[in-house]
Structure 1
Amino acid sequence: MTKQIRFNAFDMNCVAHQSSGLWRHPDDQSWRYKELSYWTELAQLLERGAFDGIFIADVLGTYDVYGGSNEAAIRHGAQVPVNDPILLVSAMAAVTEHLGFGITAGTAYEHPYPFARRMTTLDHLTKGRVGWNVVTGYLPSAARNMGHDDQLEHDQRYDVADEYLEVLYKLWEGSWEDDAVVRDREAGVFTDPSKVHEIGHHGEHFTVPGIHISEPSPQRTPVIYQAGASPRGVAFAAGNAEAIFVAAPTKAVLKGTVSRIRDALEAAGRARDSAKIYTLLTIITDETSEKAHAKHADYLSYASEEGALVFMSGWMGVDLSQYDLDDPIGDVRSNAIQSAVANFQGADEEGREWTVRDIARLGAIGGLGPFLVGSPTEVADELQAWVDETDVDGFNLAYAITPGTFEDVVEFVIPELRRRGVYPEAYEEGTLRHKLHGRGDRLPEEHHGARFTIGSRTR
């Protein structure tokens, strides 16, 4: 029997997100990304569908690999303009009770000390429903605008991230004891100073000698999300991640990726299921198969293949404008998202080499992940097949149009999955960590960050 299927919604504080050109569709409302009401309405919709959370991506630069400039990205609205994701969370949390929030923030350009406070603040305000998607960066334009000639090499970025998380774990887990805040009115003591500790961190990249300036939040450490399937990314995830997002164009590729991740978790002394793995997917559905396919054709008429290649060039670190559309991807080296390149090196499910034209068509709706088109029954059949054949836990759902794509999933697909007994009827109580893993609010003792908890024997 298929295990329970989990959904996240994938969005970004910009227009169209990964479906370049679809902002032109008359039913798309992503142009409202600047309005709080867009985000609060979306959050309420997702909670009605019992989504685990909304995962909000981010970039701190423009996609300027394609054609050697950002002109095409600006023209197509390819994740530019883009606003900060973190500022959205409080408003969405205020109108929901259970929905989780996965916030993307990088380790390259913000010091961990103020970042620790921002995430603790959100964990307090959401009553423990926040996760942090740890990214190391991949856009050279972001590095240049932060005063660097280019970003560090791929594996070096993870070396920095290792220390970044060490600082955060020390602040979140090791600075304040659970009972440090006493609020003793008679004695006039709000916090017992003897129970607040300086972390004394002096490392290669960061020096943070003092205390965390926020009291412990419900989860202390937010749920750690990670989205990297390169060998170095998997190694990083094995010690830190509690939810992992991957993207794979075929079931065969996904099966291999999931297996490698679970092997790495086990090698790191954690259970094979200690991180929930979600794969990127877009669902286009309606009451009948015919209506769904007509909807897909309608969406394609608005999609921009050049916009898709702008994204693909940025994700792969390869200027695809230099290739003929029918050229295979071949053996290229990436200093961006290495798994994005690896996914398209080799044959597709029909045994053909991936060409530039193929990935433009694939990426025109939903980005790096595949899409399913069909009736609720057809979509549910495919979702169960993906889970059964790959051992993935769930799906990070991108959209063609918003909120329409998510509305269709809630209206058509989720009732069919529930009828089959493979989708939650309601939320678990508790924090996001407990909802995902059922083991309480705090980091489990086998997690890498738990060694920094006050009283830990391995601290």
Structure 2
Amino acid sequence: MPRPLQFHAFTMNCVSFINHGLWRHPEGRHVDYTDLGGWVDLARLVERAGFDTLFFADTVGVYEGYQGGRETTVREAVQIPNGDPSVLIPALAHATEDLGFAFTSSVQQAHPFEFARRVSTLDHLTGGRVAWNIVTSFQPSAARNFNSDTAIALQDRYAWAEEYMEVVYKLWEGSWEDGAVLRDAERGIYTDPARVHSIDHRGERYKVAGPHLAEPSPQRTPVLFQAGSSEAGRTFAGRHAEGTFIIVPDPSSAEVAVSKVRERAVAAGRAAGDVTFVQGLSLVVGSTEEEAHRLNAEFEEYLSDDAFLAHVSGNVGKDFSVIDPATPLTEVIKNDVNMEGVFRAMIEGAPPGARTWGDMAKLLVSTRVVGTPDQIADQLERWAAAGVGGFNVTVVITPGTFEDFAEHLTPVLRARGLMRDRYAPGTLREKLSGAGARLPERHPAARFRKL
């Protein structure tokens, strides 16, 4: 029997994450994003619902360019204001027992030496329940916040990411040998100095001497997620990721994305099954089909077209207030490099009739599935048959999305064997993969381990 699917509760430490405008819904708590108690309640709810992780997106820039600026983005709270997700994790881990915590951090925003220590600290404090979503930050505004005057080219961002990964792997995997920590009170030796090493990294962007300041954590390297779908992003995923996120309109498109990354994983010396593919979905579930569509219609009334278009304009670097919805998608992307991978994945597997910007634009942010628990489970099975191994369940209403999931979907998914009925013991990596707490020997991080 195949392994159960992964389920990640996808949210962000902000007011309006993906389904823009729904922060105004009277049943939502979106505007309480600065309240720690609300996050603790959500983490406990998500754990009761059986999710594998509470997964935090993040951005370090502002979406700009729609109608010539950032005014719409700021006015409608499109991922601004936002807070650092990593600082929430210790409190949420203390309030839960098994739930994993994934957070997004860009290679542009934190020096790898500082970041490696922070992640090791989080991995210790959570008992090995931490994952990192690796991003390279495509936004020009993000680049301007971190010492660059202009947007960084796609290939340059991924070259940067490769060196960043080398530094953190050296710190997490190679700086402290197994058995370095003795905690020998009688002899007064906490750590064997002979088993702690400098990394002496000298690269194009970083010079890091080491040693790593944190002793080895339960996973050493956190579970690694990544979301790039450009050609460079797929190559990076095949080399490094344990889970890679896709946002495609249908299972046939997923098959294309899955096959391309698996090819790259094998080319990098890994197994095709080393990468799990996680599709982003917004789910609207009702006890009957009529109820589900009534709820969806209610949600649609709160959605903001301007906020949505401001988000997409910021993603792509084009002001979509001036583009005719009938424009072929290939024309939209012809001169756009920043997010060409998202469009490319859609074009490669798009169904007939979904070739214009008007047809495809809404799929850029989230694919929505509406129906009864059985209807939604049927849809998830179709995605799974296409090679998808998990889902990023994007918040629509906080906390209602996950309350409905727990009440309606969890029992059906478990009855079908699509969702595990209990958490496995051990670290997050052990819970997700059924393998060991550390990355396998065929992963590139392993070459930095001391024999």
Distance, in Å, in 2 between the alignment partners of 1:446 and 1:335 is 32
1:352/1:191 CA distance change after superposition, 3 Å: closer
Query: Match for 1:424 among 420, 423, 439?
Result: 420
Distance, in Å, in 1 between the alignment partners of 2:450 and 2:95 is 34
**SS at the partner of 1:427?**
coil
- 1:94 shift after superposition: 0.4
**SS at the partner of 1:67?**
coil
Q: Give the partner amino acid of 2:14.
A: C
Distance, in Å, in 2 between the alignment partners of 1:306 and 1:251 is 29
After superposition, residues 96-111 of structure 1 pair within 5 angstroms as 96-111=96-111
Q: In 2, are the aligned partners of 1:315 and 1:340 still within 8 Å (CA)? A: no
Residue 384 of structure 1 pairs with residue 381 of structure 2: yes
Residue 445 of structure 1 pairs with residue 441 of structure 2: yes
CA shift digits 1:412-443 (9 cap, x unpaired)? 11211122222210011000111111111111
- 1:119 shift after superposition: 0.3
- 1:345 shift after superposition: 4.2
CA shift digits 1:138-169 (9 cap, x unpaired)? 11111112231112100110001100010000
Q: Give the partner amino acid of 1:422.
A: L
**SS at the partner of 1:405?**
helix
Distance, in Å, in 1 between the alignment partners of 2:106 and 2:354 is 36
Q: In 2, are the aligned partners of 1:89 and 1:101 still within 8 Å (CA)? A: yes
After superposition, residues 295-444 of structure 1 pair within 5 angstroms as 295-331=295-331, 332=333, 333-345=335-347, 348-355=350-357, 357-360=358-361, 362=362, 368-388=365-385, 390-444=386-440
Distance, in Å, in 2 between the alignment partners of 1:443 and 1:392 is 21
- 1:326 shift after superposition: 3.5
- 1:335 shift after superposition: 3.2
Q: In 2, are the aligned partners of 1:104 and 1:135 still within 8 Å (CA)? A: yes
Q: Give the partner amino acid of 1:397.
A: V
Distance, in Å, in 1 between the alignment partners of 2:42 and 2:202 is 43
After superposition, residues 153-302 of structure 1 pair within 5 angstroms as 153-302=153-302
Alignment partner, residue 4 of structure 1: 4
- 1:226 shift after superposition: 0.6
Distance, in Å, in 1 between the alignment partners of 2:133 and 2:246 is 12
- 1:273 shift after superposition: 1.2
- 1:21 shift after superposition: 0.6
**SS at the partner of 2:273?**
coil
**SS at the partner of 2:187?**
coil
- 1:29 shift after superposition: 0.9
CA shift digits 1:223-265 (9 cap, x unpaired)? 1111111111111111111111111122222110011112211
Distance, in Å, in 2 between the alignment partners of 1:122 and 1:207 is 24
**SS at the partner of 2:104?**
strand
- How many residues end up aligned between the 2 structures? 449
Q: Give the partner amino acid of 1:183.
A: R
CA shift digits 1:72-115 (9 cap, x unpaired)? 10011100001101001011100111111111001123210111
- 1:344 shift after superposition: 4.8
Q: In 1, are the aligned partners of 2:50 and 2:410 still within 8 Å (CA)? A: no
- 1:3 shift after superposition: 5.6
1:316/1:345 CA distance change after superposition, 3 Å: farther
After superposition, residues 29-68 of structure 1 pair within 5 angstroms as 29-68=29-68
Distance, in Å, in 1 between the alignment partners of 2:43 and 2:383 is 26
- 1:346 shift after superposition: 7.3
CA shift digits 1:258-316 (9 cap, x unpaired)? 11112211222212111221010011011111000000000000001111111111222
**SS at the partner of 1:34?**
coil
**SS at the partner of 2:324?**
coil
- 1:350 shift after superposition: 4.3
CA shift digits 1:357-409 (9 cap, x unpaired)? 4445x25xxx6231111111111111111211x11101111021111111111
Distance, in Å, in 1 between the alignment partners of 2:192 and 2:113 is 22
Q: In 1, are the aligned partners of 2:65 and 2:314 still within 8 Å (CA)? A: yes
After superposition, residues 121-136 of structure 1 pair within 5 angstroms as 121-136=121-136
CA shift digits 1:314-339 (9 cap, x unpaired)? 22232212212343333323332322
- 1:343 shift after superposition: 4.1
Q: Give the partner amino acid of 1:322.
A: V
CA shift digits 1:127-146 (9 cap, x unpaired)? 00001111011111111122
Distance, in Å, in 1 between the alignment partners of 2:395 and 2:109 is 29
Q: In 2, are the aligned partners of 1:197 and 1:211 still within 8 Å (CA)? A: yes
Distance, in Å, in 2 between the alignment partners of 1:380 and 1:156 is 41
Residue 88 of structure 1 pairs with residue 97 of structure 2: no
Q: Give the partner amino acid of 2:20.
A: S
Identity across aligned pairs (percent)? 44
Task: Note the aligned Cα RMSD (angstroms).
Answer: 1.6
Distance, in Å, in 2 between the alignment partners of 1:352 and 1:447 is 38
Which segments of 5 or more consecutive residues in structure 1 lack a partner in the other structure? none
- 1:352 shift after superposition: 3.8
Alignment partner, residue 22 of structure 2: 22
Q: Give the partner amino acid of 2:341.
A: S
